[in-house]
Chain A
Amino acid sequence: MFEIFGVPSYALFGQLLLGLINGSFYALLSLGLAVIFGMLNIINFTHGAQYMMGAFVAYMLLQYLGINYWAALVIVPILVGATGIIIERLFLARLQKLDPLYGLLLTFGLALIIEGVFRNYYGSSGKPYDIPDALQGGHNLGFMFLPNYRAWVIVFSLAVCLVTWFAIERTRLGSYLRAATENPTLVRAFGIDVPRLVTLTYGFGVGLAALAGVMAAPIYNVSPQMGSDIIIVVFAVVVIGGMGSIMGAILTGFTLGIVEGFTKVFFPEASNTVIFVIMVIVLLIRPAGLFGRGI
């Protein structure tokens, strides 16, 4: 053990790890929000509730059907993503030509309803979800103790973020998405079924939120308000990063997680507000966000 700026390495790297974990979730969630905002022009306030649904569906699969964490990582995003597709077809598609405020109100209302339903059936105290056997324990790295599950969350969410970035920025389907974000009318006039692309994009963004929820289940308690706890910070992350940039959402998510972690070490009193202070500063200096393409 050694010290850095008078702080024991265990404390420093422990908080850095916590920051990276939070950053993983910020990145996954703000990535989904950015993708959805790009295609639908809707700020998806249901995102936190969909993240919570991801954790709860994983819990329910394990509790009632004995389906384990690894299977849940695949099944849950598909199931919750499918509910997203239904929401898009039933509601959001009808709001497309209206003021974006309507979409914001609708998704905000849906978030309250979904959270209320889960609170009604599962209470607000939260349910435990065990770390899968293969990822129990951890390694002592000398300067810190690294729990296996946390290392997995960081690596896996980084991988998911990078694969998503690659799919959007470097593939043919991704070029359809980027083009449709810019000029949906013209892309449609080239023969591409843009409304279907929009539906699938929403389903994908919701699936990402649900995937984050599954990964969060063993770390935080599975509780109905877990979504609204994190989503406020995630919106601040999105404001700082700027809407409309995929890499921006990923980088900002991880960076702000780390900033939050370090603040806990050096000035714990500010750790809950540091992200919002940064948000205010960024809004004053670059209103479009660090990576935004203008308003």
Chain B
Amino acid sequence: MIDKHSAGTHAMLAVKGLEAWYGESHILHGVTFDVQPGEVVTLLGRNGVGKTTTLKAIMGIVEQRRGSVRFEDRELVGLSSDAIARGGIAFCPEERGIFASLNVRENLLLPPQVRPGGLDVERIFALFPNLRERLSSQGTKLSGGEQQMLAIGRILRTGARLLLLDEPTEGLAPVIIQQIRETIGSLKAQGFTILLVEQNFHFAAAVADRHYIMEHGRVVDEFSTPQLKANPAKLHDYLGV
């Protein structure tokens, strides 16, 4: 099912045979997929199949890695994570990574601009109006939903065009999930390219163009969103839901 033709030279992100280790444990066993400019793509799969590790290996946070990750035709394997970020990729971690010793404003302004053309603070407030009233609160005093908005909002300033979002809906109330869903739609409309890790495939089906299924540290299948909706049984097999 994997579409061999999509891994063309025009991919914004082309991952090929990516392997990664945490110390002695071999987590990724050759992950291959690609993301085209302007697309929203998800990595789906059960817990522990290597979705988060894939994002961290792309980002260089997992340093022990092999294979190829090309971003705008530049090889990233071997670069440090700060160099990868300055190349124009931004990462929003699963645990959100809001800093307790920084207030909301400092959290928002922390990631440096890596390219021109990031959203200015006013446009981030337009997406997430709650943040404006909480600017001088301690970052971790925000609610879970607000922290997630802050975590996404702060990487929009940087000018990065490829966003890696790790489970942005985890543990959030449906109304917040709905808001994040609209945000991702709005970001896509503004030309951002997004690679999303998700457990919640209803959310994934609602926001993404394409979906890769991961098992045991590999990508084993690919669906477009219409295919995903047409094959619920197969997806249930993969995800065990």
Chain B 90-118: CB-based contact to A (< 8 A → 1; otherwise 0): 11010001011110001001111010000
A292 to chain B, nearest CB (A): 13
Which residues of the other chain, A, contact B155 by a CB distance below 8 angstroms? 190
Residue A140 CB within 8 A of the other chain: no
Contact A186 B93 (CB under 8 A): yes
B60 close to A (CB within 8 Å) = yes
Are B158 and A179 in contact, CB atoms less than 8 angstroms apart? no
Known: A172-B109, A179-B110, A185-B61. A192 touches B101 (CB 8 A): no
- Partner of A181 from the list B101, B110, B112 (CB cut-off 8 Å) is B101
User: How far apart are the CA atoms of A182 and B85 in the complex, in Å?
Assistant: 19
What is the predominant secondary structure among interface residues of chain A facing chain B?
helix
Bitwise interface map of B from 71 to 89 toward A, beta carbon under 8 Å scored 1, else 0 = 0000000001110111000
- Contacts of A187 on B, CB cut-off 8 Å? 110
| Shortest distance from the beta carbon of A8 to any chain B beta carbon, whole Å | 47
Does B60 lie within 8 Å of A175, measured CB to CB?
A: no
Taking the closest CB of chain B, its distance from the CB of A235, in whole angstroms, is 24
A178 within 8 A of B: yes
Instruction: Give the Cβ gap from A87 to chain B, nearest Cβ, in Å.
Output: 22
Question: In the complex, which residues of chain A have a beta carbon less than 8 angstroms from the beta carbon of B90?
Answer: 190
Check A189/B82 contact, CB under 8 A, given A179-B102, A183-B97. yes
Q: Are B112 and A192 in contact (CB under 8 A)?
A: yes
Q: Is the beta-carbon distance between A179 and B112 smaller than 8 angstroms? A: no
Residues of the B chain whose Cβ atoms lie less than 8 Å from the Cβ of A37: none
In the complex, whether A209 has a CB less than 8 A from a CB of chain B is no
Please, how many angstroms separate the alpha-carbon atoms of A187 and B111 in the complex?
8
Closest to B87 in A: A191
Q: Which residues of chain B have C-beta atoms less than 8 A from A193's C-beta?
A: 82
| B24 CB → nearest A CB, Å | 15
Contacting residue for B109 out of A175, A178, A189, A192, CB 8 A:
A175
B59 within 8 A of A: yes
Q: How far is the CA of A176 from the CA of B86 in the complex (A)?
A: 16
- Find chain A residues with CB under 8 A from B86 CB: 191
Return B96 CB to nearest CB of chain A, in Å. 10
Q: Are B99 and A183 in contact (CB under 8 A)?
A: yes
Q: Which positions 169-207 of chain A face chain B at CB distance < 8 Å? A: 172, 175-176, 178-179, 181-183, 185-194
- Select B61's contact among A179, A181, A182, A189, beta carbons within 8 Å: A189
Contacts A188-B81, A189-B81 known; A182 to B101 CB distance under 8 Å? Answer: yes
Which 5 pairs of residues, A with B, have the shortest CB-CB distance?
A191-B85, A190-B111, A178-B101, A175-B106, A191-B86
* Contact sample, A vs B, 23 pairs, CB 8 Å cutoff: A175-B102, A175-B106, A179-B102, A179-B106, A179-B110, A181-B101, A182-B99, A182-B101, A183-B97, A188-B81, A188-B82, A188-B85, A189-B82, A189-B91, A190-B90, A190-B110, A190-B111, A190-B155, A190-B158, A191-B112, A192-B82, A193-B82, A194-B82
